[in-house]
Structure 1
Amino acid sequence: MDSIIFDLDGTLWDPRETVLTSWNKAIEDYPKVDKKLTLDDLKQTMGKQMHEISQIFFPELSEEDQKSVMDYLTEIEIPYVAKNGGELYPDLEDTLKDLSQKYRLFIVSNCQEGYIEAFYEYHGLDKYFDDFENPGRTGLSKGENIKLVIDRNGLQDSIYVGDTQGDRDAARKAGVPFVYAKYGFGEVNDFEYEIERLPDLKKHF
């Protein structure tokens, strides 16, 4: 094995409080939406692309308005996340530091462009990762983005670590083993490895 590719939300951190605050701030200023989101709302959409989230949160809006409101939420969210960060899972940096001495590390998330950079900016963890990708930048599915990172970096033997069935499906599409982060947001029954906490990666690999 030469590399580990990580999902972000529900795998490396829990950003829900920060994201929820920023999104509700944005919704207050958006005249066509009259609702307040909750943590449970966010949990059910973790791992989905932005257009899928807009369909779940704002089904009453036209497709054009759904895109417009999500663009505005992103405009508010990215700088807010960069300024306020999120809740890192226990022992994250120590685990990344140890793993990076043996493997090349990457992030592939279903987020919008700028989100991973905001994670890096607040928490200063970019030094452990060689590359990242997301559909906000490429327009591709998560499985395609995993494959893109593999090809772009000349990787030969990767694993993907994530917490949802969508992550599992993406890993399968990319042809790499899946490590289920059981502590995250989703439930997955089909995986090659399972971890109860991040440092467990060092026991398996």
Structure 2
Amino acid sequence: MNRFRPAAVLFDLDGTLVDSAPDLTTAVNRSLADIDRPALTEDQVCAWIGNGARRLVARALAGRRDITAEPPATDAALARFFVHYHDCLHEGSRLYPGVRDGLERLQAMGLPMGVVTNKPAAFTTPLMASLGIAGYFGVAVSGDTLDVKKPDPAPLIHAAGQLGVAIEDCLYVGDSDADRAAAEAAGSPLVRVPYGYPGDDAIFADHPAAMTLTVDQLAVGLAEPRKVL
């Protein structure tokens, strides 16, 4: 990413802007309780976030991250999960430290911003509104906006197009391997936040080219005159 200054910044949502693990854990455990399955810890659920709700539910049913096939009960469990998540969507979810300050600074610079998430739009929109961040973004591409979602690059490319910016001129900020793969395929430089969810830590260790910054650190750096990444 030598000598790169973005024309726009795109962000993942869960694990990047918002720590939604408490409410995702609640919804998963209520879904498991419906079928008399034992509850999971938040740490377990955190390790399984990053590839959309369906994969999260399938992993919860299987009890592990690496699955080659979905458990037979995935469809029914996913339907229950959506009902429960709707009921607890913003009970415990919160912005990561420095996110609001960073978004304020980027907005003041006039940088267009967007969100690209695998979360369904029915949850993306109210969650962003409840946390008071919807107004920072010119576009929000959810997991069901297109026929594909990350790690496919199409959602990033679509978001850039909605902002009127070429995807190669966008910076993408995320925390998961789906984010890394989508940005790489789209030709967009990637910044990884140093928090988020731990499931893909080993994969990022194999890709040291991804710069690690918090949202406010990124904003402060880009606010410096002639600053490039």
Shorter-chain TM-score bucket reads 0.7 to 0.9
AA paired with 2:216?
P
Q: How many residues align?
A: 201
Q: How does 1:14-33 map to 2 (within 5 A)?
A: 14-28=19-33, 30-31=34-35
Letter in 2 for 1:193: M
Aligned equivalent of 1:49: 52
Query: Which deviates the most, 45-54 or 157-166?
Result: 45-54
Is the contact made by 2:28 and 2:57 (CA closer than 8 Å) also made in structure 1?
no
Tell me which of 93, 105, 111 is aligned to 2:100.
93
Report what 1:179 is aligned to. 191
| Secondary structure of 1:160 counterpart | strand
What is the deviation of 1:111? 1.4
RMSD, matched Cα: 2.2
1:112 Cα deviation after fit = 2.3
CA distance in 2, matches of 1:113, 1:72: 17
TM-score, structure 2 length as denominator? 0.79
Aligned mate of 2:80, from 58, 68, 72? 72
Aligned letter for 1:199?
D
Measured after TM superposition, the shift of residue 62 of structure 1 is 6.9
Residue 141 of structure 1 corresponds to 149
* Higher deviation after alignment, 5-14 or 115-124: 115-124
Partner of 1:198: 215
The amino acid of 1:179's aligned partner reads V
The 1:17–1:85 alpha-carbon spacing in structure 2 relative to 1, beyond 3 Å, is: closer
| SS in structure 2 at match of 1:179 | strand
Deviation at 1:118, TM superposition (A): 2.6
Please state whether the residue corresponding to 2:120 is helix, strand or coil: coil
CA distance in 2, matches of 1:179, 1:98: 17
Structure 2, unaligned stretches of length 5 or more? 1-5, 64-68, 223-229
Contact 1:54 1:67 in 2 (8 A): no
**1:105 aligns with one of 106, 110, 113:** 113
Which amino acid letter does the alignment assign opposite residue 12 of structure 1?
A: L
Per-residue CA shift, 1:69-123, capped at 9, x if unaligned?
Answer: 11220122034214x2512111221211110122111111121232211322321
Q: Which 10-residue stretch deviates more, 127-136 or 186-195?
A: 186-195
List alignment gaps of at least 5 residues for structure 1. none
Letter in 2 for 1:162: G
Farther-moved stretch of structure 1 (106-115 vs 19-28):
19-28
Structure-1 residue corresponding to 2:89: 81
The equivalent residue for 1:114 is 122
Q: 1:12 aligns to what?
A: 17
Residue aligning to 1:168: 180
Displacement, 1:161?
Answer: 0.2
* In structure 2, C-alpha distance between the alignment counterparts of 1:79 and 1:105, rounded to whole Å: 29
| CA positional deviation for 1:139 | 3.1
- Which AA in structure 1 matches 2:132? G
Greater than 6 Å deviation, 4+ residue runs: none
Is it true that 1:40 corresponds to 2:81 in the alignment?
no
TM-score of the superposed pair, with normalisation by structure 1: 0.87
For 2:87 and 2:159, locate their aligned partners in 1 and report how far apart those are by CA, in whole Å.
26
SS of equivalent to 1:136: coil
- The residue identity in structure 2 corresponding to 1:46 is I
Letter in 2 for 1:98: R
Which deviations, in whole Å up to 9, do the C-alpha atoms of 1:44-67 show, x marking residues without a partner?
A: 212112332233222499766302
- How many Å separate the matches in 1 of 2:70 and 2:25? 23
How far apart are 1:176 and its partner, in Å?
0.3
